[in-house]
Each structure stands twice: as C-alpha cells, then as structure tokens.
Amino acid sequence: MDLTITHTAIYPTHTVFKSDTHVVGSDKAEDNLYVLANLRVDDPLHLPLFLKDFTATLTTADDQQITTSAAEVKDLPNIYTSFPGLKPLASPPLRRETLISPGTSVEGMVLLQFPITLDVWNHRKSAILNVDLYHGGAFPIAIPFNTKTVSTNFDQ
C-alpha cells in the first residue's frame, strides 16, 4: 500500500462563548485548529483494501501528545455551517468503509480537529496521520510542515 498526502490546508479558529454574568473575564474561549489533508491511497497488491478509520497524533514542542479521530462525513455539513471558511478549503472526503480494489487508488480529504492554536501547530515536533485498515492494522504517514507532497510506501 502506498500513502501520499498531496495537499494540506489549515484553518485556525478562536471561539468566544459569551457568559450571562457581567464579570470581566467570565467569557470562555476555545482555540481549535482544523487540518484538511488530501490523502491518496494506492493498492498495488493483489488483495483489496478496506479503509476502517483515520486518526492523527500531534506531538507538541513540549512533547505533549494529542490524538484525534477524523471528522465523520455525516458531521461535515454542521462543521462547514459553524466555520464557513473551511468549505472553500475542503475537497470530497475520503470515506471510512471504502473498498480499494487491487491495482487501483482512492483519494479524498481527511478533516482533523486539534484543540490547539496556530502557534502550537507551527512549532510542533510532528503530526502523524494513521490510516487503519480492516485486516491490516494502522499505517502512519507524516503530515508535512508545509504543503509539500509526502509519500510513504508499505510493502506487504
């Protein structure tokens, strides 16, 4: 199996939740960073591949590890409604439960959400996307520090 991240885009958000109290500083804020990774999965094997799940682990500059699961396709409309700026960055999603026939490939977007600021993302040690297969385990690929294409080959 060959994995290639052909493009990445990031979308940082800062949401302030207003409080009914009139105390200074009582409003709560939340920072999130969305990573849109366009992933291509090639199946050069003589067996079909079944995509099970997509997860990612971010290692921050201070070695904190944050793991997240990719957004479900059914949740994308609500995410795009909440953050309309994401939609122009998005492409058709790569779906869980996808069957990849031998000798073919699939490509699509994987949307990840990390509870971090843009500064934390920019100073990370690493971000690894794991592609989990039925009957095959998880296969990691590094999310690039820039928008360069990254490929990983797994001989099975």
Q: Minimal CA–CA distance to 4: which of 155, 146, 141?
A: 141
Task: Tell me what pLDDT residue 100 has.
Answer: 97
pLDDT tens over the chain, length 156 residues: 999 999 999 999 977 766 666 566 566 788 999 999 999 999 998 999 999 999 999 999 999 999 999 999 999 999 999 999 999 999 999 999 999 999 999 999 999 999 999 999 999 999 999 999 998 899 999 999 876 544 455 544
Class of residue 85 by CB neighbours under 10 A (exposed 0-12, middle 13-18, buried 19+): exposed
Give the model's pLDDT for residue 151. Answer: 46
What is the phi/psi pair of residue 119, to 5°? -60, -40
Which tokens in the block code for residue 67? 């793991």
The pLDDT of residue 148 is 53
Residue 27, SS3 per DSSP = coil
**Class of domain 2-13+30-150 (CATH, top level):** mainly beta
d(CA 83, CA 116): 16
pLDDT, residue 23, reads: 61
Domain definitions of the chain by residue range: 2-13+30-150
